[in-house]
A and B are shown apart, each in its own frame.
Chain A
Amino acid sequence: MRKITWSIVAVVVALFISAGLAQASTKDEVQKRGYLQCGVSTGLPGFSNPDEKGTWTGLDVDVCKAIAAATLGDATKIKYVPLNAKERFTALQSGEIDALVRGTTWTLTRDSSLGLNFTGVNYYDGQGFLVSKKLGVKSALELDGAAVCIQGGTTTELNLADYFKEKKMEYKPVVFDTHDATAKAFDNGRCDVLTSDQSQLYGLRTHLSKPADAIVLPEVISKEPLGPVVRQGDDAWFNIVKWALNAMIEAEEMGVTQANVDEMKKSKNPGVRRLLGVDGIGGKGLGLNDDWAYQIIKQVGNYGEIFERNVGKGSPLQIERGLNALWSKGGIMYAPPLR
């Protein structure tokens, strides 16, 4: 609460001071500062999670890295700011972070009335339910009267109300503001159900005292397109964050990987040459070096690689590509042409 209050004070002060002044460009600020301030979760395996040494890894973290690689040429120059659901938007509005990549669902309200813009989608998710096996429940339709643990200030809270209302079922929402408290309360037996974006439930389950005692129900009750967010009104920065992600998706489609990117520079394929900044517009439009996308792929990898490494086959989560496969492979990941 205190943190939020201060952020809000900062927003007010910033708004007050910025009277009449033109907004400083985030890109210039990041380059002058020498590092990117990236808002992430407080710890979600596979998406943004610090290890014992404080090194952050995950799918969201890799998007932060891509932004840093493109803007600064160095994917390690990042200060990660862990944020819970309630803190995240004020942190971005107040300028405490340059970009928010924290499993944040793209919705109309958020895009249109918070002074923020979503730049794309780095993971297509949906809301699911984690229940204790002891309940003997096979479907979410059997959850009438259940006590449900949730994190406040999320779309999760709203979808839950919609779903139970539509199905004419009752529920008791137990709302926490941190991820830890939510998981712990569920673990203690305070709730029958924990609900969240389904991708997180698998990671969360590994943190329970007896992971094998909990199962994820088959129902997915919402659309949760999770994507990076920036402040509204800084179009140059918006473009950089948007295309950093697009470049990773395009690289996967073109078969450019972290391992072969140097070789690919010599490729004859015009698409690959444009992507890697050998030919074409390069970084002119974005105000970056021509090799901005090369740096992303070299230092971070293409979308398929970061997916498999963090949440897919190369990770304990073993999540299928599903919707997150390329459009050409049965999913809906699709980048506009880099040309």
Chain B
Amino acid sequence: MSKPIQRYTARERSNHWVVAIAFILAGLSGLALFHPAFFFLTNLFGGGPWTRILHPFIGVVMFLFFMAMAARFWRFNHFTAADRQWMARIGDVIRNRDQGLPEIGKYNAGQKYLFWTMVVSIPLLLLSGIVIWQPWFAPYFPIWLLRAAVVVHALTAWIMILGIIVHVYAAIWVKGSVRAMTRGTVSEAWAKHHHRAWYREMTGK
């Protein structure tokens, strides 16, 4: 009987879930204005005008809390030689053939790619979002910048949603991961199997 290992503190978990909730709300309200197929989602926010009003504020909340979270996790996300070896065997990882994978730290290369994707996209979304923010800021920007910003905003949001689909799926796929963010701990076996270098660091074994 092994003891669970602490992976996230209560503060880190709360921070993550504020970002996650803001992401879901910003994502749904953004999709509503992205394509007519999703316009019905404006009903979740009290109609079209309310969706337009709320979306940017939700986005700002997501940005602020994401930045706080990114600052906490920054130092665990530098790429290492082990990450490159792991990435070379990504096909095996996907097929659940994990034997002989290199020992990796708190995050694997896939998680690190997601981290850096978010670090780039969220500020880009904020900047392009401010440019098209009606009625507060959009009137102060030239039309060419508005046109560029709508494209950047849509494209970046799309990349980010794709990234989050992968993130959520990975959490469902790799059993024992979700509790890291809900209860803060993972099993010793989980840590040993998926993040051995981190496991050694945490347990001294």
The answer to whether A and B come from one shared complex is no
Query: B interface vs A, CB < 8 Å?
Result: none
